Structure 1
């Protein structure tokens, strides 16, 4: 089974049920299924065939859903790309990914007009219209440009579907390049289908659910948890074009949303939203957090304020992405990423790959049908990441006696102070416990005496907070070598489009002063 075929089966049983809502308009499963098939047939008419690569450079719109499922139905490999990337960032992915066609939006065409000459393999631009007066024929790329809407309307419902094999590459996700250029994780049809199915079952997502898609759809967290899993279950996806607390609360109230998935930054914004009259999550049965570790203080404040459970999970692009979630049939553990989801195994290992006893910190390794088949055109990096069928995540973790996993920190973020290990998250949790601190990020910087020093960046909700308070808090709760050497106040922390804090940017801020 694969996503495309499962959508057809789901649609057959739920023809008149709403598949997604966008800008207040509801689209049922019958219409979605027809649009997917017709779009696939139009791609076929343009000369696309199984194995070709096509990029999805769109935001949270129906174009993403139809484009994704239509391309998969034809056996194409889909490469989702962040639409706000720079020309250089997009150009690298398009060229490295051997992309033949690009599905994008009219508002992004100016960018592609300027960079088309560097995209030698691209033969077509399929343009989704967001403005009523947009005409692809007016583009300087008119010879390559096609209207997304016209392709859907002109397509046929009679499509000779190719055979999709489990091991065929369905999606290539380019991981954010924290070091060097981004790498393309090749996810097969089996990878993405199994994870969507297992996540849906684990979280008990059913046809009655209305799942908010406020995370970026190009990101694997939203792709699996808030898009594929709901659509396979016959649920309704509530599309939020761009995250804001106001938009989330509004769509929750209007459509009685039942599931919200977000990163910790989103939960912080929702909690801090000033208009108390609009802060209503009473219809939400489950909140899902991932993408980064959620500070325990934030989790507990959010649950108390909204009277809703927040279940934290864990995943990475190379695992489609989910490997762990806090179980729903028992109390969740604050600070834990939970236990193995269905059909996936996690273990903590030492440098030699040997499993460690419960409670010991080591690298988290993952095995299951969701693990990628490798990095695109990078066999050496693939072999370094996947050993004996286990994916080495680069995250440091431990497992408690009850089988719950806890992420300590990224392996590369570990700070060595005088030979002692300092995990940034431990320091962040302490500073975060101050009731007037809304965000914290801790990094290590070179130190001539101790090797590295701990530096903390904090965002306060009240300007009355002074450094001495935070130093005293850290000194009371942390060993001396873990106490920050310096604490800096910022108006906000630098983040990427998914809300993940960019530690590299913080280090760059310090570079001139080191």
Structure 2
């Protein structure tokens, strides 16, 4: 049956090609068992002249005798009408690295090549392009592409068949006319229209020659990448008809064939680009050290001498670097120059890479989706909003969506504007897919966005628990989250990962599921069923997903926080926790239907989740999203574009936004909430200078409390972090005796209320609750007091952690990581007593000082490298190393941190 189906597919393709192409085959009769003397399958290596056409033409020939597994770029693999065939023939999807790259794409590219190696050993046959891309000229230029060399490096004794296709250079499917890869389906549709204009059977036909040759004995199987690629280039670029012994290489001439039977109708090729440095680049102002670093790296990746690299060297065509090599250059820019998220397409020549490294030019912003401004601009009647009726988040969301219907709910630059009706439809359709995924807990790794909101709601509708994953904290944290929550799938997005840069996701690659791929997997039938279901009542939808019996005490979401220990702690929040906190905020402050909230905090932060994902969708307030809270200029632009009235963020993010923006961009803001860190005086000054005096207020919250505990109201005099929100009680106790303190006395801050969680995911962790006078209270770990007006004034933190950009970093975790990796670096540890101590100082408006004290010699660069290799957060940056013969300890044997801080931090501070 399989043979019959494959024959039918081959016959259909041959008929389709016949209308435009006349194909001549040479040498395929010699591709037979007696000439393939090595064990295993066959690796077919063709040149790549034209998008879509040459793989089909070659495959129709090869599959007469051999089953074939082609390597195909992912966007083609998943294309409508193509995906089913690709799955059937067991093709291997390869990430598209030409436009962008990230660590996940690199991992998946490696896996694809590994599958080829293993498949060849099993006797399977593969089709792979050595160049990895369409050729740019009549020459087949492979340059530094690494795929063939890597496969031969694992198994040089494989059967190789070379394939040369001549006649497609000049086709509309080639790069001959624009210099860029043509869009496949529009080009195909244009060809179909021309065929019908020529009455099908009278189409002018292009002559193609496909030549096969079993790799001869002089093929450099054990050669270097350059030797293998150079040999292949010479073989591909011989003109048709020359004998192999003829060393002449001229490449393939441009061949134009009319599209019309009735007249001469051709596409005109574009003139070749003149090599030059972009006018916007001033090489004289780029530091010489930066230039030399870039040249050395490019030469290293290309495997050439640095003398061969000049500023006008074109990285792709002159050096032939493939997508994996380009990805390495992108990662290098981030690691060496801290330039993140550079699209691969920006690395045109060496001069441009130098300018990007020197921050002389900024890579282009992602194109934004067209926004339906008419819908967003629709006038909304002002009324105070409250959380809709319901005991669980899905119930509340469906009730709220039913109430607001076609009213605008959310919007961002990628998805555009969505009404409540569309948001409900999307959540229901996606939930239909998610309910069949393995596991009760589903990871979500997405930034603040419409996509993150819709996905979170869909996971809950599907009867599963979303686990919000922090991608900034390193592989150790990620592994702990996966294991601790039993996650089998993580929903994320290529669009997000392309912007993420050099984040190590190797250990979770098997769990990653791209929303772009999910969208392709959701068939028409599922969409229709979802559309019909979304029109039903909230009760019927809840019944359909079998979540109508869920209660407020069921887990709604799981967050992870590092807190004061090296390992992250899983925090399950119930529907009751989150909904009670939202209702408390609505009782405490006035929020209106014509307010627009600007959500930038990632949803792995409890405030980013509660305020960004849930507050608007469960009340009726519009929410606009931007995915990067560190991009101040784009945040300012976003507030102006969406006319936002409310924004929240850490002081660091808010300062960057204010410094980058102009007063007129913020004229719609009426309320700015600062949290995660104490707001410095500079932030208040900036608010005044930008025309917003009295708009900034501080708040206080913790992941375990869902998260808001206190807020400064706009209609009251601000002080500290404000008064407790409705239904929340605070208690100040002595840190050691646990006795309640008088108003105004500093002590340990405790909290209780329906928003407080019930306990950590790992039941073996020490309980964070204290029983005081018969009542159970949550221990926040913070120190502070209640002033005469009932406002909480924080004075410090009890535990050994610091906050960087709103993230909690454990000093103990740094110590543990460095001790664990010490043998690799040859650091000699003490047989008795401590070997490492980490101390830190938080400085307002600056990065904290993190100092490592050790009994062994090291340096800052080596310690930071060790931190990265240990999987610590990229936020951890050691600023100083101190070498001591012995680390001081107290009588109990514990490290005397106070002495170290007095000696190396307090004593070094400048006097006021």
TM norm structure 1: 0.73
Task: Provide the C-alpha distance between the structure 2 equivalents of 1:200 and 1:328, rounded to a whole number of angstroms.
Answer: 13
> 1:312-366 deviations in whole A, cap 9, x for unaligned?
1100000011010012332222xx1101101111121113332211111101100
Matching of residue 378 in structure 1 with residue 768 in structure 2: no
Task: Provide the C-alpha distance between the structure 2 equivalents of 1:453 and 1:250, rounded to a whole number of angstroms.
Answer: 39
SS at match of 2:584: helix
- Among 266, 280, 302, the alignment partner of 2:687 is 302
Task: Provide the C-alpha distance between the structure 2 equivalents of 1:316 and 1:402, rounded to a whole number of angstroms.
Answer: 22
Between Structure 1 and Structure 2, which shows a larger proportion of strand residues? 1
Matching of residue 106 in structure 1 with residue 494 in structure 2: yes
1:53–1:218 CA distance, 2 compared to 1 (3 A)? same
Question: Could you say which residue in structure 2 is the equivalent of 1:193?
Answer: 579
Question: Could you say which residue in structure 2 is the equivalent of 1:167?
Answer: 553
1:96–1:512 CA distance, 2 compared to 1 (3 A)? same
Stretches of structure 2 lacking an aligned partner (at least 5 in a row): 1-390, 534-540, 804-810, 812-837, 847-872, 884-903, 905-912
Matching of residue 115 in structure 1 with residue 503 in structure 2: no
- Among 232, 241, 245, the alignment partner of 2:618 is 232
Task: Provide the C-alpha distance between the structure 2 equivalents of 1:353 and 1:400, rounded to a whole number of angstroms.
Answer: 20
Task: Provide the C-alpha distance between the structure 1 equivalents of 2:401 and 2:643, rounded to a whole number of angstroms.
Answer: 22
- State the 1:178 CA deviation: 4.5
- State the 1:300 CA deviation: 4.4
Q: How does 1:131-170 map to 2 (within 5 A)?
A: 136=517, 146-147=518-519, 150=522, 153=527, 156=530, 157=533, 159-162=544-547, 163-170=549-556
Task: Provide the C-alpha distance between the structure 1 equivalents of 2:671 and 2:842, rounded to a whole number of angstroms.
Answer: 32
SS at match of 1:311: strand
Question: Could you say which residue in structure 1 is the equivalent of 2:636?
Answer: 249
Question: Could you say which residue in structure 1 is the equivalent of 2:782?
Answer: 395
Question: Could you say which residue in structure 2 is the equivalent of 1:78?
Answer: 466
Q: Is the 8 A contact 1:221 1:290 kept in 2?
A: no
Q: Is the 8 A contact 2:571 2:757 kept in 1?
A: yes
Question: Could you say which residue in structure 1 is the equivalent of 2:432?
Answer: 41
Q: Is the 8 A contact 1:205 1:233 kept in 2?
A: no
1:13–1:221 CA distance, 2 compared to 1 (3 A)? same
TM norm structure 2: 0.42
Matching of residue 94 in structure 1 with residue 485 in structure 2: no
- State the 1:454 CA deviation: 9.0
Task: Provide the C-alpha distance between the structure 2 equivalents of 1:155 and 1:178, rounded to a whole number of angstroms.
Answer: 48
Question: Could you say which residue in structure 2 is the equivalent of 1:142?
Answer: none
- State the 1:10 CA deviation: 1.2
- Among 267, 280, 287, the alignment partner of 2:665 is 280
Q: Is the 8 A contact 2:659 2:686 kept in 1?
A: no
Question: Could you say which residue in structure 2 is the equivalent of 1:271?
Answer: 658
Q: Is the 8 A contact 2:471 2:503 kept in 1?
A: no
Bigger drift between 400-409 and 33-42 goes to 33-42
Task: Provide the C-alpha distance between the structure 2 equivalents of 1:82 and 1:394, rounded to a whole number of angstroms.
Answer: 22
1:148–1:166 CA distance, 2 compared to 1 (3 A)? farther
Task: Provide the C-alpha distance between the structure 2 equivalents of 1:155 and 1:27, rounded to a whole number of angstroms.
Answer: 20
Question: Could you say which residue in structure 2 is the equivalent of 1:338?
Answer: 722
Task: Provide the C-alpha distance between the structure 2 equivalents of 1:204 and 1:341, rounded to a whole number of angstroms.
Answer: 12
1:332–1:183 CA distance, 2 compared to 1 (3 A)? same
Q: How does 1:423-442 map to 2 (within 5 A)?
A: none
1:167–1:280 CA distance, 2 compared to 1 (3 A)? same
Task: Provide the C-alpha distance between the structure 1 equivalents of 2:619 and 2:405, rounded to a whole number of angstroms.
Answer: 13
Matching of residue 368 in structure 1 with residue 753 in structure 2: yes
Bigger drift between 77-86 and 155-164 goes to 155-164
Task: Provide the C-alpha distance between the structure 2 equivalents of 1:457 and 1:248, rounded to a whole number of angstroms.
Answer: 25
- State the 1:77 CA deviation: 1.6
Task: Provide the C-alpha distance between the structure 2 equivalents of 1:458 and 1:358, rounded to a whole number of angstroms.
Answer: 28
Task: Provide the C-alpha distance between the structure 2 equivalents of 1:459 and 1:210, rounded to a whole number of angstroms.
Answer: 28
Higher relative CO (Cα under 8 Å, sequence separation at least 6) belongs to 1
Q: Is the 8 A contact 1:258 1:284 kept in 2?
A: yes
Task: Provide the C-alpha distance between the structure 2 equivalents of 1:154 and 1:86, rounded to a whole number of angstroms.
Answer: 41
1:304–1:227 CA distance, 2 compared to 1 (3 A)? farther
Q: Is the 8 A contact 1:199 1:341 kept in 2?
A: yes
Task: Provide the C-alpha distance between the structure 2 equivalents of 1:229 and 1:66, rounded to a whole number of angstroms.
Answer: 13
Task: Provide the C-alpha distance between the structure 1 equivalents of 2:520 and 2:580, rounded to a whole number of angstroms.
Answer: 29
> 1:178-215 deviations in whole A, cap 9, x for unaligned?
53100001111101111122223423222211100111
- State the 1:453 CA deviation: 9.8
SS at match of 1:390: strand
Q: Is the 8 A contact 1:128 1:149 kept in 2?
A: no
Q: Is the 8 A contact 2:472 2:503 kept in 1?
A: no
How many pairs were matched up?
412
1:147–1:323 CA distance, 2 compared to 1 (3 A)? same
Q: Is the 8 A contact 1:42 1:155 kept in 2?
A: no
Stretches of structure 1 lacking an aligned partner (at least 5 in a row): 130-135, 137-145, 415-423, 426-442, 444-451, 461-501
Task: Provide the C-alpha distance between the structure 2 equivalents of 1:456 and 1:218, rounded to a whole number of angstroms.
Answer: 23
Q: Is the 8 A contact 2:475 2:505 kept in 1?
A: no
1:304–1:201 CA distance, 2 compared to 1 (3 A)? farther
SS at match of 1:246: helix
Q: Is the 8 A contact 2:732 2:749 kept in 1?
A: yes
Q: Is the 8 A contact 2:721 2:792 kept in 1?
A: yes
Question: Could you say which residue in structure 2 is the equivalent of 1:67?
Answer: 455
Q: Is the 8 A contact 1:126 1:148 kept in 2?
A: no
What's the C-alpha RMSD, in Å, of the aligned pairs? 3.2
1:511–1:153 CA distance, 2 compared to 1 (3 A)? farther
> 1:34-72 deviations in whole A, cap 9, x for unaligned?
111222222224466xxx111101222322111111111
Question: Could you say which residue in structure 2 is the equivalent of 1:15?
Answer: 405
Q: Is the 8 A contact 1:75 1:170 kept in 2?
A: no
Question: Could you say which residue in structure 2 is the equivalent of 1:417?
Answer: none
Question: Could you say which residue in structure 2 is the equivalent of 1:492?
Answer: none
Task: Provide the C-alpha distance between the structure 2 equivalents of 1:192 and 1:410, rounded to a whole number of angstroms.
Answer: 25
Task: Provide the C-alpha distance between the structure 2 equivalents of 1:253 and 1:116, rounded to a whole number of angstroms.
Answer: 38
Q: Is the 8 A contact 2:472 2:874 kept in 1?
A: no
Question: Could you say which residue in structure 1 is the equivalent of 2:743?
Answer: 358
Matching of residue 322 in structure 1 with residue 322 in structure 2: no
Question: Could you say which residue in structure 1 is the equivalent of 2:203?
Answer: none
- Among 293, 300, 317, the alignment partner of 2:678 is 293
Q: How does 1:423-462 map to 2 (within 5 A)?
A: 457=843
SS at match of 2:636: helix
Task: Provide the C-alpha distance between the structure 2 equivalents of 1:246 and 1:316, rounded to a whole number of angstroms.
Answer: 28
- State the 1:113 CA deviation: 8.2
Task: Provide the C-alpha distance between the structure 1 equivalents of 2:552 and 2:845, rounded to a whole number of angstroms.
Answer: 47
1:355–1:207 CA distance, 2 compared to 1 (3 A)? same
SS at match of 1:171: strand
1:352–1:153 CA distance, 2 compared to 1 (3 A)? farther
Q: Is the 8 A contact 1:206 1:230 kept in 2?
A: no
> 1:117-147 deviations in whole A, cap 9, x for unaligned?
8x7xx5xx43122xxxxxx4xxxxxxxxx44
Q: Is the 8 A contact 2:599 2:608 kept in 1?
A: yes
Matching of residue 509 in structure 1 with residue 879 in structure 2: yes
Q: Is the 8 A contact 2:401 2:421 kept in 1?
A: yes
1:185–1:46 CA distance, 2 compared to 1 (3 A)? closer
Task: Provide the C-alpha distance between the structure 1 equivalents of 2:649 and 2:731, rounded to a whole number of angstroms.
Answer: 25
- Among 790, 797, 800, the alignment partner of 1:410 is 797
- Among 564, 568, 576, the alignment partner of 1:182 is 568
1:394–1:154 CA distance, 2 compared to 1 (3 A)? farther
